Chain A
Amino acid sequence: MSVLIIAEHNNRELNPATLHAIQAARQLGEVAVLVAGHQAEAVVEQTKQVSGVHHVLLAQAVHYETGLAEELAPLVVSLASSYSHIGATATAFGKNLMPRVAALLDCSQISDLTEIIDAHTFVRPIYAGNAYATVQSQEPKLVLTFRATAFDAAATEGGSATVETVAAEPAQNLSRFVGRELTQSDRPELTQAKVIVSGGRALGSAEQFNRVLTPLADKLNAAIGASRAAVDAGYAPNDYQVGQTGKVVAPELYIAVGISGAIQHLAGMQDSKVIVAINKDPEAPIFNVADYGLVADLFTAVPELIAALDS
C-alpha cells in the first residue's frame, strides 16, 4: 500500500506540520509526498531528505502558488489512483483541502485522527475531545487528516526520496487569492512550541495581556496562546486561540493564566505533558486537569514567577 501526503508549504519552506502526517503515514505504507506550488524547488529539496519519504511528486503552476483548494483538489484527484490512502495534517490548509478531494473521489473522510489501529481503522476525538470514536472505513480509498500533536514529527534528515515531476491540471479559476496578513512574531509557532503560556479573560485588557504574559513567555522561550474568551474580548489575535475551534496543542509545559477551563478550551490542550494553572478561583475547572495549581491573583503571581525563574 502506498500513501500520498499533501505537503503544506509557502514555496520556500516545508511547513513542519507536514512532518507529523509523514510520520503517521509510515505506519500505513510507502510514503509519497506531493509538493504542488510555484517555484517550489527548495521545498522539494527539503522534502526528499525527510526520513521515511520514498517519493516526492512536484507539480508546478502559477495557480498552485497560494494553495487554493479549488486548484489543488483536481491535481490530487488526478494522482489518486496509485494510492490507497491520501492525507494531510489537520491544519487550516489540510482541513480546507482534503474534504474537497474526498468528495471529488466520492469517498468519506476521517478527520483529525489521533491513532492508527490498522489500515482501515482509526481513532478520532468527537464532542470536543470528550469522547474518542473508533471508526472503520469500507471505502476503496481512504482520505485522512492527521492530528499533528498525536504523532511525532518525521526527522528532517536521513531520507533520500526520488523526485518526479507531474503534470499540472488546468486552472479552475473559481477563486482568486487577494492577500494574506500574517501575525508577526519571533516566538515559536504555537502548535510546535515546547512551552506555551496562555491567557484568559481575567487578564482584563489587550494591554495587560501583553504586559503580563510577554515577559513570562520571553523567559521560557514560550509561544503565547489564549482562550476563546480572551480572543473574543479582543485581548489577543484570533490565531492565538487554543481549543476545539482554535488550535490543538500538546506542549511539554502549558501554563494557563486566568483561564477557567471551559470544555472547548480543554479540548485544545489537555494532552499537554504538564499543565500549570494560575487562577484566583479555587473552583475553576482548569484545576481538574492541572498537574500544578496555584490559587492566586495572576497580577501578583506572574511577576513573582518571572522573578523566581530569574534567581
Chain B
Amino acid sequence: MKALVAVKRVVDYNVKVRVKSDGSDVDISNVKMSMNPFDEIAVEEAVRLKEAGKISEIVVVSLGVKQCEETLRTALAMGADRAIHVETDETLAPLAVAKLLHAVAQSEQPDVLLLGKQAIDDDANQTPQMLAALLNAPQGTFASKVELNDGEAVITREIDGGLETIALRLPAVISTDLRLNEPRYVKLPNIMQAKKKPLEKKTVADLGVDVTPRLQQIKVAEPKSRSAGIKVDSVAELVAKLKNEAKVI
C-alpha cells in the first residue's frame, strides 16, 4: 500500500505572532517556521504503518514557497521515501490546496492519504474533508487511532463527547489529532540520508488547477486585549471578590 502525506510549513507553534501595523496581515517575516505539528503526526503515523509492514511507500507533498523544501526534507528524514514540492508564491486557501492534492493523488494513486486535522496558522480544519470530497473517498477526521486491514481503515475519532470508531473503504483520507502518536526526533544520520532522497518539483500549472482566491482578507486585527487583573493575597479575599465584585458565585 502507498501513503500520501501532505505537510505544511507554518509559523512555529511557540511564536506569538503580531499583526502588521497596517492591519493587512500578521507579520511572519523573520519568525521561526516549522512543520505544522498535526502534519508531523501524520508523517509519524505513515512511518509507523510502514514499519509495521502495512505500507510500502510514503510520498510526502507540500505546496508553497521554495522553503517548503526544508519541511519536505524533515519529513524525508523522519522516514518518508520521496517528496513532491508544488512550488508557488500564491497564498493557497484550503479549497485550492485540496484541488492540488487531488491532482497529485490522481497521478500517485495512494491507498491512504494522511493530513493534519488543521494548520495552526489559518486554523481552518477544512483541507482533508475537502480532499476526501473531491476524491469521492471516505474521511476519518480527528483520528486518535488508525488500523489498516485488507481494503479497510478502522479509525478511532475524537468527538465532542468522547470517541467514535468508523471503518473506511480504501482509498481513504485520514486527518490526525494530537493523540494519535508522539512524533520521533530526527537524528543527524537521517538528515544526511534525507538529502539523497528524491524530491520532485511541480508547478500549479502542471497540475492544471485554478488557485485564484475566492475569499478576500480585508484586514487582520489584534484580538480585544484582555489585561491582567489583580492578584489577591488569600482564598478568603478571592471568594469575597468573586461574590461581591464579579458576582459570579
Contacts and interface: CB of A to CB of B under 8 A. Distances in A.
Interface pairs A-B: 3 shortest CB-CB: A291-B229, A99-B129, A103-B133
A163 interface: no
22 contacts: A96-B139, A108-B214, A125-B223, A126-B123, A127-B17, A130-B26, A131-B19, A131-B26, A131-B220, A131-B223, A133-B219, A138-B215, A139-B214, A175-B168, A178-B166, A238-B144, A252-B248, A274-B242, A289-B228, A293-B231, A294-B232, A308-B239
B142 A99 contact: no
Interface of A: 17, 68-70, 73, 91-93, 95-104, 106-112, 121, 125-139, 173-183, 191, 195, 220, 228, 231-232, 237-239, 244-245, 247, 252-253, 263-264, 270, 273-276, 282, 287-296, 301, 304-305, 308-309
Given A132-B221, A134-B221, A175-B138, A263 B16 contact: yes
Label chain B's interface by main secondary structure: mixed
B160 A136 contact: no
Which among A99, A111, A308 has the greatest number of chain B C-beta atoms within 10 A?
A99
Interface string B222-249: 1100101111101110110110001011
Contacts of B167: 175-176, 178
B169 interface: yes
B130 A100 contact: yes
A253 B243 CA distance: 12
Nearest to A185: B161
A108 B133 contact: no
Interface stretch (B42-50, B55-63, B93-101, B196-204): B93-101
Given A175-B166, A292-B241, A244 B123 contact: yes
Nearest to B122: A126
B249 to A, nearest CB: 7
B104 interface: no
B230 A293 contact: yes
Nearest to A289: B226
B229 A103 contact: no
B134 interface: yes
B74 interface: no
Name which of B121, B154, B218, B249 has the most chain A CB atoms within 10 A of its CB.
B249
A135 B162 contact: no
B216 A138 contact: yes
A132 B130 contact: no
B11 A69 contact: no
Interface string B116-153: 01101111111111111110111111101000000000
Contacts of A177: 164, 166
Given A228-B178, A288-B228, A309-B249, A112 B17 contact: no
Contacts, number: 253
A178 B166 CA distance: 5
B158 interface: yes
A132 B220 contact: yes
A287 B229 CA distance: 8
B123 A127 contact: yes
Nearest to A68: B166
B184 interface: no
B193 interface: no
B130 A121 contact: no
Given A100-B132, A289-B228, A293-B230, A127 B218 contact: no
